[in-house]
Structures are given as C-alpha cells and as structure tokens.
C-alpha cells in the first residue's frame, strides 16, 4: 500500500537494505561456533583427537559378524579398512571437509559399516565395472573394494578440493 515497495519494511535478519547490520541488531553465532575467517571462508575447528586415537576408539570387532555374513575373511579386511579412515581423516582435516567433525567419532558406524553392507549382492551380480558418483570421501566405493567387491572402480567427484585427494586415488 501507499507507495511502499516490496522489501522496504524491516528485514528479518536485522540488516539494512545494504546488508549491513542495523544498529542494535545482535549477530547470532555461526553454526559450529566458529566465526568466518578474515578471508571470508569458514574457519573449521580442529579436532583435539588425533586420527590414530579416533580410529583406535572405534569398535572394529563389531564388523566381524557383518564381514563373515557376507563371506569375507574378517581379520585382514578389518586391518585394511582401518588404514583407509586414517588417510581420510588426515586429508579431511587438512585440505577439505570430507567427514563432518561431529561424525568423526562414529566413522565406523556411519560410513564404513553402511558402505560394506551390500558386498555380497554386488559380488553375486557378476558385474566387474563400478561407478560411484559424488564419492566425496570415497564412500561407499573404497570400503566396498577393500571388502572384496572385485572389478574396476571409477569414483567421480565434482568438487576439485576433494577430487584432488591422492589417498583416494591410490589406496584401494
């Protein structure tokens, strides 16, 4: 009404038309509690738990029944599966955000176990060429390859900082 233009009323975010904070508007803390760095990017907090300790805290023996059920020799497979997240965490913490920091303590349950569940079905399919789109941290392709799904794997990732991870291209 009355000569007002759309959007000329008060902003929901406490910002003026130019995007600057209004006087008295409080800024909410960023999700994750960290402010943006001076360069405009998100400053990711570093985990206090070294990757070796984080991996050691996981219940890797819980994979034994899963691996035995799909017909895989559990002990050597678990040792190979333990190596992969070490590389993944080092890369994720240093160069990109492959694994959410809040998911790191549940890496085994949330990523490894879920990745290997279809091993038997994939092996029985007879296929020997696999394509994983949006593979990010290598899930599920790398755990599947480690757990015994044979053939040639192609992992496709559109984000350059993730696709540049040398550990993802040489480990499996």
Give the list of residues 6+ apart from residue 119 with CB closer than 8 angstroms, or none: 70, 72, 144, 147, 148, 149
Cross-strand partners of 15: 21
Q: How confident is the model at residue 39 (pLDDT cuts 50, 70, 90)?
A: very low
Whole-prediction pTM = 0.66
Q: Residue written as tokens 């070294």?
A: 50
| Alpha-carbon dihedral sign for residues 163, 158, 48, 144 | negative
- 47-63 pLDDT per residue, tens: 568 999 999 999 999 99
- 69-93 pLDDT per residue, tens: 888 899 999 999 999 998 888 888 8
Distances 129 to 31, 37, 118, 132 between C-alpha atoms, Å = 40, 43, 15, 10
- 141-151 pLDDT per residue, tens: 999 999 999 99
């Amino acid at each position: 009404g009355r000569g007002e233009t759309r959007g000329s009323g008060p902003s929901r975010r406490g910002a003026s038309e130019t995007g600057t904070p209004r006087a008295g508007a409080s800024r909410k803390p960023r999700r994750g509690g960290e402010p943006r760095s001076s360069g405009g990017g998100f400053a990711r907090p570093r985990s206090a738990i070294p990757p070796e300790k984080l991996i050691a805290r996981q219940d890797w023996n819980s994979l034994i029944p899963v691996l035995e059920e799909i017909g895989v020799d559990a002990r050597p497979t678990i040792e190979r599966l333990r190596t992969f997240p070490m590389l993944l965490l080092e890369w994720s913490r240093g160069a990109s955000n492959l694994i959410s920091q809040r998911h790191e303590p549940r890496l085994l349950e949330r990523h490894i176990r879920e990745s290997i569940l279809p091993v038997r079905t994939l092996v029985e399919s007879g296929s020997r060429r696999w394509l994983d789109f949006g593979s990010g941290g290598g899930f599920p392709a790398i755990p599947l390859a480690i757990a015994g799904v044979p053939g040639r794997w192609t992992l496709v990732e559109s984000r350059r900082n993730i696709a540049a991870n040398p550990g993802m291209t040489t480990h499996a």
